[in-house]
């Protein structure tokens, strides 16, 4: 039964106690990622992968989020977040919350994962544990392959402290001059052009008692550290300690002052390669205090910025081992299936190149027959989205193709198809978002290639990041023009489409085609479209429509009906949306939120959010799709699209969310939501205090992994 309460005048829904800090919530998300590395139910190499992802996530967190907070402190910003913290208080909270996690990861890798890898024939050996034969080989390897690349840098009054590049691994070396007995300080950068882990030849591999040796080797920095005499001849190497530096790497481009946005971003990318101010120093606990203090001083860091561990630094490099040929140590392989409705599709791209052997309907006929829902990686991205764009590129009836590219892969079949379309004389317009964080360089490369092929390339709008995932194909059919659309939740990237869960809609509904036409005119020209027929578009009407639909559910409850909202997304941060959800909960609306990452809403608070439940699913695939369900008094509405409920998505990005008008597709999406809400293997429940508790099946329940169930569902849909 719904718990209906009238909003009490004593309850201020803007009170900071009802909001979780954004940064702390993100750390809780990364804690859940780390848990997958700790969980013995996770296959060994997958555990190693999650440990690497935990570290990689932290790198980006410091480069962007921590760097931003430090800039606010330096600028004297004292503005409070909705949860009531200043920037300096947030930095302290991050440090307190993060240090135990870093220590836990370090200890788990050094004392559990390494031992388990050894038992499976994968030996990450410390240099000091090598036998003489192995040392001799590595010394020769060092002289031939490593020594020529190294550049020792002296640090003294005539050699100032060098600029330490972002995310670089380094050795701080103390040598003594035997003539003067003077101690000298030097820095050696561990070159990132060489593999982080050096493999030993098969005949020198460490032997396992019960398992054939698969790989043996040492970390690169240890091979350098134990051969430093070659770099400092005539001196005595006294000690050597690894350290790693993270810098502010966020781009700051004044778009309205940039005559050429691409050139401005390229200039900022050159700055990022070395980074701006340092924000974190990682060291081993064995580093002496005087050396630690010297690095802090030279990098202009404080104690709060230093993180020390006992073992290896930069564990994101553990991803190297995930590709080892050990299928028994990984998740069972999954090959995305081709939907049954596509099984007899005529490959137009092959036909128009002279291959007349295939039979079947083209993809446009199939879309005309019915709207089509795509679910990746359960269903094949290449056989659906890429095929849709490729057929459009070669179909003589297609007049124009328009699409947005936020992130795409380096060898993108989609980009190649767009180039082919332009060469085939079609009108091709592509919005390439140059401001896609950490993909800017890749996007610049593809933008230039597209322009050279004659594609009309635009770079987005001043002050707005274009995050929407849309394709519009204009086709001449008989005596009319028909528009086909793809509206998705994920990037047009064939590689991440195998790792991220995303949804897409293929349709030729006239109103959606007209809306996308208007939206592309907004993106490429001077249109200032204020209304859309079907689409929810940010920053135009999405926020108002979402708030209105939440309030509509509350109004149904106030009239004695039931109210229900289920929303799946990556993050919930926007204070207005949270406050509106609280109001709906107070009215008795039953609300289930499936939020992978950041959630600033506190569920389960009596009188405020007791009708709200929040789960997060962390597992094999990265939950990236966005689904919004509103009961609407029995006239149910379901939406999918590119936007989370974050202020940046609703106010500072171009986003598109589409209603699902096909009742069968709406039913399928509701089934997907139900499967995820029933997950008791990879789901975590958010508590009112901001912590998460992992679900486990009871003695009477069977384990229900949403990923496994959705795989089975996809196979059934493909007739397998």
| Higher per-residue pLDDT: 208 or 606 | 606
Q: What's the confidence (pLDDT) of residue 311? A: 94
Helices (H), 401-456: 413-423, 440-452
Least confident of 149-163, 441-455, 617-631: 441-455
Q: Tens digits of per-residue pLDDT, 648-678?
A: 999 999 999 999 999 999 999 999 999 999 9
Q: Tens digits of per-residue pLDDT, 290-311?
A: 999 999 999 999 999 999 999 9
Q: Tens digits of per-residue pLDDT, 221-244?
A: 999 999 999 999 999 999 999 999
Q: Tens digits of per-residue pLDDT, 181-215?
A: 898 899 999 999 999 999 999 999 987 667 788 99
Please state, in angstroms and rounded to a whole number, the distance separating the CA atoms of residues 14 and 392. 50
pLDDT at 594 over 80: yes
pLDDT at 628 over 90: yes
Residues in CB range of 310: below 8 A, 6 or more apart: 106, 107, 110, 284, 285, 286
Q: What percent of the chain has pLDDT over 90?
A: 76
pLDDT at 253 over 50: no
User: What's the token pair of residue 575?
Assistant: 């204070």
Burial of residue 566 (number of CB atoms within 10 Å: 0-12, 13-18, 19+): buried
Q: Tens digits of per-residue pLDDT, 461-473?
A: 777 888 899 999 9
pLDDT at 496 over 70: yes
Q: What's the confidence (pLDDT) of residue 455? A: 87
Known catalytic membership, residue 108: no
Q: What is the mean pLDDT of residues 68-90?
A: 93
Closest Cα partner for 427 from 458, 409, 402?
A: 402
Closest Cα partner for 645 from 546, 537, 519, 505?
A: 546
Question: Is there a contact between 567 and 627 (Cβ–Cβ < 8 Å)?
Answer: yes
Residues in CB range of 667: below 8 A, 6 or more apart: none
Instruction: Determine if the peptide bond prior to 539 is cis (ω within 30°).
Output: yes
Residues in CB range of 75: below 8 A, 6 or more apart: none
Q: What's the confidence (pLDDT) of residue 456? A: 87
Q: What's the confidence (pLDDT) of residue 457? A: 85
Among the listed residues 123, 241, 467, 624, the single catalytic one is 467
Confidence of residue 345 (pLDDT cuts 50, 70, 90): low
Nearest-Å Rg of the Cα atoms of the chain is 28
pLDDT at 434 over 70: no
Distances from the Cα of 607 to the Cα of 550, 582, 685, angstroms? 18, 9, 20
pLDDT at 170 over 70: yes
Instruction: Determine if the peptide bond prior to 282 is cis (ω within 30°).
Output: no
**pTM for the full model?**
0.91
Q: What's the confidence (pLDDT) of residue 410? A: 58
pLDDT at 359 over 50: no
Please state, in angstroms and rounded to a whole number, the distance separating the CA atoms of residues 655 and 648. 10
Q: What's the confidence (pLDDT) of residue 256? A: 44
| Higher per-residue pLDDT: 9 or 101 | 101
Q: What's the confidence (pLDDT) of residue 350? A: 46
Q: What's the confidence (pLDDT) of residue 718? A: 85
Q: What percent of the chain has pLDDT over 70?
A: 89
């Amino acid at each position: 039964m719904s718990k209906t309460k009238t909003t009490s005048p004593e309850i201020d829904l803007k009170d900071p106690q009802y909001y979780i800090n954004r940064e702390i919530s993100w750390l809780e998300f990364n804690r859940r990622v780390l848990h997958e590395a700790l969980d013995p139910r996770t296959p060994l190499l997958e555990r190693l992968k999650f440990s690497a992802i935990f570290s990689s996530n932290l790198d980006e967190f410091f480069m962007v989020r921590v760097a931003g907070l430090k800039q606010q402190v330096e600028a004297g910003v004292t503005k409070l977040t909705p949860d009531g913290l200043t920037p300096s208080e947030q930095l302290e909270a991050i440090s307190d919350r993060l240090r135990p996690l870093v220590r836990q990861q370090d200890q788990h890798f050094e004392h559990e994962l390494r031992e388990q890898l050894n038992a499976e024939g994968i030996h990450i050996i410390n240099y000091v544990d090598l036998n003489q034969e192995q040392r001799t080989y590595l010394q020769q390897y060092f002289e031939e392959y490593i020594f020529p690349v190294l550049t020792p840098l002296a640090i003294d009054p005539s050699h100032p402290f060098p600029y330490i590049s972002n995310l670089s691994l380094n050795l701080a070396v103390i040598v003594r001059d035997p003539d003067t007995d003077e101690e000298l300080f030097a820095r050696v950068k561990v070159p990132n052009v060489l593999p982080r882990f050096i493999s030993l030849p098969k005949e020198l591999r460490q032997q396992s008692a019960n398992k054939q040796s698969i790989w043996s080797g040492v970390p690169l920095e240890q091979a350098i550290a134990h051969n430093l005499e070659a770099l400092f001849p005539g001196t005595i190497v006294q000690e050597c300690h690894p350290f790693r530096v993270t810098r502010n790497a966020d781009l700051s481009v004044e778009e309205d002052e940039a005559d050429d946005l691409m050139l401005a971003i390229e200039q900022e990318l050159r700055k990022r390669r070395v980074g701006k101010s340092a924000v974190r120093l990682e060291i081993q606990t064995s580093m002496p205090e005087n050396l630690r203090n010297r690095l802090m001083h030279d990098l202009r860091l404080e104690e709060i910025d230093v993180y020390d561990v006992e073992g290896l630094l930069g564990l994101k490099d553990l991803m190297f081992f995930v590709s080892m040929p050990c299928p028994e140590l990984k998740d069972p392989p999954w090959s995305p299936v081709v939907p049954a409705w596509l099984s007899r599709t005529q490959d137009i791209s092959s036909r128009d190149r002279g291959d007349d052997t295939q039979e079947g309907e083209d993809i446009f006929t199939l879309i005309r027959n019915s709207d089509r829902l795509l679910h990746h990686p359960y269903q094949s991205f290449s056989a659906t989205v890429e095929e849709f764009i490729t057929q459009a590129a070669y179909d003589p009836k297609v007049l124009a193709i328009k699409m947005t590219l936020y992130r795409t892969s380096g060898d993108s079949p989609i980009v190649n198809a767009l180039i082919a379309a332009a060469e085939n004389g079609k009108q091709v317009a592509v919005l390439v978002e140059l401001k896609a964080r950490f993909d800017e360089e890749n996007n610049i490369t593809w933008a230039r290639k597209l322009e050279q092929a004659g594609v009309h390339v635009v770079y987005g709008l001043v002050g707005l990041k274009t995050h929407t995932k849309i394709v519009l194909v204009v086709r001449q059919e008989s005596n009319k023009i028909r528009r086909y659309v793809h509206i998705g939740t994920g990037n047009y990237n064939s590689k991440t489409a195998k790792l991220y869960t995303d949804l897409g809609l293929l349709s030729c509904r006239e109103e959606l085609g007209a809306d996308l036409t208007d939206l592309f005119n907004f993106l490429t020209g001077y249109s200032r479209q204020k209304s859309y027929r079907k689409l929810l578009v940010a920053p135009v009407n999405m926020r108002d429509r979402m708030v209105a639909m939440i309030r509509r559910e509350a109004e149904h409850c106030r009239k004695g009906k039931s109210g229900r909202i289920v929303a799946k997304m990556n993050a919930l941060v926007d204070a207005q949306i949270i406050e509106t959800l609280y109001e709906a909960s107070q009215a008795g609306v039953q609300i289930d939120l499936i939020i992978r990452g950041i959630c600033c809403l506190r569920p389960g608070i009596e009188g405020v959010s007791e009708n709200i439940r929040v789960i997060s699913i962390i597992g094999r695939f990265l939950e990236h799709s966005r689904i919004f369900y509103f009961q609407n008094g029995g006239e149910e509405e379901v939406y999918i699209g590119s936007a989370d409920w974050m202020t940046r998505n609703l106010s500072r990005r171009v986003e598109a969310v589409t209603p699902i008008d096909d009742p069968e597709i709406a039913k399928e999406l509701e089934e997907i939501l139900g499967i995820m809400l029933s997950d008791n293997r990879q789901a975590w429940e958010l508590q009112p205090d901001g912590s998460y508790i992992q679900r486990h099946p009871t003695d009477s329940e069977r384990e229900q992994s949403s990923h496994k169930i959705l795989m089975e569902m996809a196979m059934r849909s493909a007739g397998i």
